[in-house]
Amino acid sequence: MTDRRLAGPVRIVGTGLLGTSIALALRARGVDVSLADVSPSSLALAIDYGAGRAAADGDNPELVVVCVPPDVTARIVAHELEAFPNALVTDVASVKVEPLRELIALGADVSRYIGSHPMAGRERSGAISARADLFNGRPWVIAGHDAISYGRAAAVEQLALDLGALPIEMTAEDHDRNVALVSHAPQVISSLLAARLTDATDAATALAGQGLRDTTRIASSDPELWVQILRANAPAIRDILHAYRDDLDRAIATLDAPDATGSRRALAELIGAGNVGVARIPGKHGQAKHFSRIVVLVDDKPGELARLLTEIGELGINMEDLRLEHSPGAQIGLAEISVLPAAESRLVSELEQRGWKISEALA
């Protein structure tokens, strides 16, 4: 594939999940990618996956992308700025204020540095988990600052667009406040929820459904990385957690007297506020659309899920999302299909005519 905006060459420092995924996507577009990592085994693995070649003396990259843990980001960026005086350098750390502040303190040439952050990832880390399509349709924050011009930073926007991401400009301060709300604090809450299960009985965990899985999915994240993220963005995260604590205190006070006047209203308003918040989350491709969901019972045997998806495609109905859940103790799976509301009735009717069992329809 040669339809690209970024000519290259591009140097990737750090061959973990993000670095290798960026490299794979660029290689798929014919960009010359050189790779560097302090770990020879991580570097060799990324090269074996086809993410690029080992960095060599004489490389002259157009763009350097630093993909290392937050606590060493500024030091590595400063080194890359000095080693490649003709290159624009960016990083993909999940905090943006601290690296910029450290670079200025180090006296680095920040006129060639701009922080960025692709809002994409997986629970699993390392090159083995990398995917060239990881950034498709995902926001990619570009955190400009006074020392760099828009024109000088254009390569980072080109990178995001070439990888299928949606570039979003905001200041480093706004970025850190925003990710504290939508990423960092949710990680803490998810981890706290999951930690409550540590001493749970097997009988209790056997009752777990998709709701618990949804709310604890990110609790399996890497503790070492998250210690760095939470420390670097502590003030913004702390403010949000204080607000959560106030909300919890009100909920606890209500549950202390659930039959008191106004308690039912308070509980309803708590759940209703959650409905309003969920509605604010963009849907597929960033669209603020609400989908109808149906649950199809799928026999747990080879080929059944593929048959369901094929038949939905034959009906000409676009599936907006798919979630799978196994029914405990039964040889059956539950496929939750999200479609536009206008397509729900026809999909249910057509699938039932084809012999599929519909468990429930969800608005």
Is residue 315 situated within a structural domain?
yes
339-350 confidence digits (pLDDT tens): 888 888 898 998
- CATH number of the domain to which 358 belongs: 3.30.70.260
**243 and 310 share one domain:** no
Helix (H, G, I), strand (E, B) or coil at 332: strand
Asked if residue 195 and residue 150 are part of one domain, the reply reads no
| Confidence at 317, pLDDT banded by 50, 70, 90 | confident
What tens digit of pLDDT does each residue of 15-27 get? 999 999 999 999 9
Q: What is the DSSP track for 260-323?
A: STTHHHHHHHHHHHHHHHHHTS--GGG-----EEEEEEEESSTTHHHHHHHHHHHTTPPP-EEE
Domain assignment present for 4: no
Do the beta carbons of residue 90 and residue 113 sit within 8 Å? yes
Is 60 part of any domain? Answer: yes
- Please report which confidence band the pLDDT of residue 360 belongs to, taking 50, 70 and 90 as the band edges: low
pLDDT at position 363: 39
Pair 15, 159 in one domain: yes
Q: Is residue 215 part of a domain?
A: yes
Q: Reading across the β-sheet that carries 139-143, which strands appear in turn? A: 115-118, 139-143, 166-169
User: Within this chain, do residues 186 and 221 fall inside the same structural domain, yes or no?
Assistant: yes
Q: Which helix (H) or strand (E) holds 361?
A: strand 357-362
Specify the amino acid at residue 243. A
pLDDT digit string, tens, across residues 141-165: 999 999 988 888 899 999 999 999 9
Among 279, 312, 342, give the residue marking a domain's end: 279
Residue 121: strand, helix, or coil: coil
Q: Is 174 within 8 Å of 106 (Cβ atoms)? A: no
From the CB of residue 147, how many other CB atoms can be counted at a distance below 10 Å?
A: 15
- The pLDDT of residue 279 is 82
Is the bond preceding residue 99 a cis peptide, omega within 30 degrees?
A: no
Distance (Å, rounded) from C-alpha 45 to C-alpha 126? 9
Domain assignment present for 5? no
pLDDT digits (tens, 9 = 90+) for 83-118: 999 999 999 999 999 999 999 999 999 999 999 999
The 3-state DSSP class for residue 358 equals strand
Residue 3 in any domain: the answer is: no
194 and 266 in one domain? yes
The token pair that represents 310 in the structure block: 């094929």
Domain of 328, in residue numbers = 286-362
Look at the chain and report how many structural domains it folds into. Answer: 3
Residues 86 and 158 reside in one and the same domain? yes
- 150 and 200 in a common domain: no
What digits encode the pLDDT tens for the residues 271-287? 999 989 988 887 644 44
Residues 339 and 206 in one domain: no
Residues 354 and 214 in one domain: no
List the structure tokens of 346: 């026809």
Instruction: Look at residue 36 and tell me whether its pLDDT is greater than 60.
Output: yes
User: Are residue 76 and residue 213 in the same domain, yes or no?
Assistant: no
Cα 201 from chain centre: 32
3-class DSSP assignment, residue 238: helix
Q: Is the pLDDT of residue 66 over 70?
A: yes
Do 265 and 165 share a domain, yes or no?
A: no
> Is the pLDDT reported for residue 322 higher than 90?
no
Q: What is the mean pLDDT of the chain?
A: 90
Residues 6+ apart with CB under 8 A from 53: 32, 33, 34, 35, 47
- Give me 172's structure tokens: 């480093």
> How far is C-alpha 190 from the chain's CA centre?
15
For the chain, the residue count is 363
Same domain for 106 and 218?
Answer: no
CATH number at residue 241: 1.10.3660.10
C-beta separation of 354 from 307 below 8 A:
no
Q: Identify the helix (H) or strand (E) that includes residue 48.
A: helix 40-48
CATH number at residue 20: 3.40.50.720
8 confidence band (pLDDT: 50, 70, 90) = confident
- Residue 200's pLDDT band, with cuts at 50, 70 and 90, is very high
> How much is the pLDDT for 319?
84
Residue 142 phi/psi, 5° resolution?
A: -120, 115
Of 279, 302, 326, the one marking the end of a domain is: 279
Q: Is the peptide bond before 223 cis (omega within 30 degrees of 0)?
A: no
Residue 2 falls inside a structural domain = no
Question: Which residue, 245, 339, 248, is CA-closest to 289?
Answer: 339
Q: Residue 298's beta-bridge partner residues? A: 333
